Amino acid sequence: MKKIEAIIQPHKLEDVKEALKDIGIDGQTISEVRGHGRQKGHKEVYRGMEYTVDLLPKVKIEVVVPDARCEEVVGALARAARTGQIGDGKIFVLEVADAVRIRNDDRGDAAL
C-alpha cells in the first residue's frame, strides 16, 4: 500500500474531492495546514503596513491506496489541483506497512 499526501491550494479542494470520487476512491483525510515551498511565502500589505507572510494556508489530503492504484490516483490529484501557477502544491508518496479496519480487523488492502 502507498500513502499519497497532497498539499494543495485550498480553493482546489472541491475539484480534487470530485476527481477522487470519479475514480472510486472513498477513504481520505483532509487537514488545514500552513506551509511554504521554495518561494518561502510572500509579502502582503495589510492596512498600509507590509508584512512578511511566510506560511500560507494549504489543504493536505491523505489517501492510502493499493500499490496498483497509486499512479492513477497521483495523476488524478495532480490534474485536478493544477492551475499552472507557483504554489499549486506538491504530492508525496510513502510506503504503508499495514492497515486495520478497527470495526472488524480487516487487514491490508481489504481494510482500505
Q: Are 66 and 107 in contact (CB under 8 A)?
A: no
Of residues 46-85, those binding ligand ATP (CB under 6 A)? 56, 58
Figure out which of the listed residues 15, 35, 62, 91 binds ligand ATP, where binding follows CB under 6 A: 35
Among 37, 62, 93, 111, binds ligand ATP (CB under 6 A): 37
Tell me the H-state helices in 1-112: 13-22, 70-81
| Closest C-alpha to 29, from 107, 99, 83, 103 | 99
Could you say whether residue 43 binds ligand ATP (CB under 6 A)? Answer: no
Burial of 81 (0-12, 13-18, 19+ CB in 10 A): buried
Among 7, 64, 74, 76, binds ligand ATP (CB under 6 A): 7
Residues that bind ligand ATP (CB under 6 A): 7, 35-39, 56, 58, 86-90
List residues near Mg ion by CB under 5 A: 37, 39, 86-87
